[in-house]
Amino acid sequence: MSQHAILTEDEAPPAARREPIITVRGLTVGFGGEPVLENLDLDIYRGEVLGIVGASGAGKSVLTRAILGLLPRQAGKVTAFGEDISESSDPDLERRWGVLFQHGALFSSLTVAENIMVPMREYLRLPQPLMEALAVLKVELVGLRASDAGKYPSELSGGMIKRAALARALALDPEIVFLDEPTSGLDPISAAAFDKLIDDLSRTLGLTVVMVTHDLDTLHAIVERIAVVGEKRILVEGDIAKMESFDHPWVRDYFCGARARAAGALEAEV
């Protein structure tokens, strides 16, 4: 094909059609000994739901934290919204993403609304009543009741805590959210309801979602593209069909094992 051949929409690779909002190039992260991630490349496209999978300890959480600039990098470059995050002097950059950490739930001494107002206080100068009204809107956006806004985390179920933590991640109307295992610990029905919420938010708000997950049902239900972290890099990225035909022991076991078949069968039924 000539260099100047015009590709139709269907022929064009996704990278040519979509705008990356985050690019990771040559990322190396370690904690003294062997690096956890080495020379890793990844693009995240606007509006997609990207699933990040990989064995426990492979470096999925390290990858998300490194992208967010929360871990020192030994090498590599991360660009977010066209800016190099390590050199960015733009204090607004952090407002453009929201995060739901794997282990960071909510501040237990604050109500749901107060938790949601923490980032608002840090970044927005708004009168208290307006922040309170916005916090209640976020509570409702994630499918909780307005009356839950005044509750403390100890008064919520696990699923409600995940939703409240998501509301806090959405507090500043980010363009992209990073969710690190948001449905772990939820029963399958609550997890499916949370998946639907993420899917709805991504469609209605045009939100870009990067979700670390071990949940094959989630990958089948809402994730458009998957990136597998392994051997310190992105082993493979693409859709489920690509994962299922990729020749690598871990990827094959994960996507073609007994649990994978059960998730695929469930999807085929609905």
Q: Indicate whether 36 belongs to the interface with ligand ATP (CB under 6 A).
A: yes
Which amino acid, one-letter code, is at 57?
Answer: G
**Cβ proximity to Mg ion, 38 vs 181, nearer residue:** 181
Answer for which of 51, 60, 191, 233 binds ligand ATP (CB under 6 A) is 60
Crossing angle for the helix pair 158-169 and 188-205, to the nearest 10 degrees:
20
> Which three-class secondary structure string do you get for 111-178?
CHHHHHHHHHHHHCCCCHHHHHHHHHHHHHHCCCCHHHHHCCHHHCCHHHHHHHHHHHHCCCCCCEEE
Contact with ligand ATP (CB under 6 A) among 22, 62, 131, 226: 62
> What does the alpha-carbon distance between residue 96 and residue 265 come to, in Å, rounded to a whole number?
38
Q: What is residue 47's three-state secondary structure?
A: coil
The residue whose two tokens read 């949370």 is: 194
182 binds ligand ATP (CB under 6 A): no
Tokens 């992209």 map to which residue?
A: 176
Rule CB under 6 A: choose which of 59, 98, 159, 230 binds ligand ATP: 59
Element (H, E) at 39: strand 35-45
Stretch of 58-66, 84-92, 160-168, 252-260 lying at the interface with ligand ATP (CB under 6 A):
58-66
- Binding region for ligand ATP (CB under 6 A) out of 17-25, 54-62, 75-83, 234-242: 54-62
Among positions 35, 51, 54, 174, the unique one binding ligand ATP when judged by CB under 6 A: 54
Binding segment (CB under 6 A) for ligand ATP, from list 53-61, 90-98, 106-114, 192-200: 53-61
For position 61 contacting Mg ion by CB under 5 A, the verdict is yes
Q: What are phi and psi of 204, to 5 degrees?
A: -80, -35
**Mapping DSSP to helix (H, G, I), strand (E, B) and coil, where does residue 16 land?**
helix
Q: How far apart are CA 161 and CA 159, in angstroms?
A: 5
Size, binding site for ligand ATP by CB under 6 A: 11
Residues listed for the chain: 270
Interaction between residue 42 and ligand ATP (CB under 6 A):
no
Question: Closest CB to ligand ATP among 115 and 213?
Answer: 213
Write down the least CB distance from residue 99 to Mg ion, Å.
13
| Residue 54 or 159 having the CB closest to ligand ATP | 54
Contact with ligand ATP (CB under 6 A) among 7, 12, 26, 31: 31
Indicate the SS3 state at residue 190: helix
Binding site for ligand ATP (CB under 6 A): 31, 36, 54, 56-62, 102
Residue numbers at the binding site for Mg ion (CB under 5 A): 60-61, 102
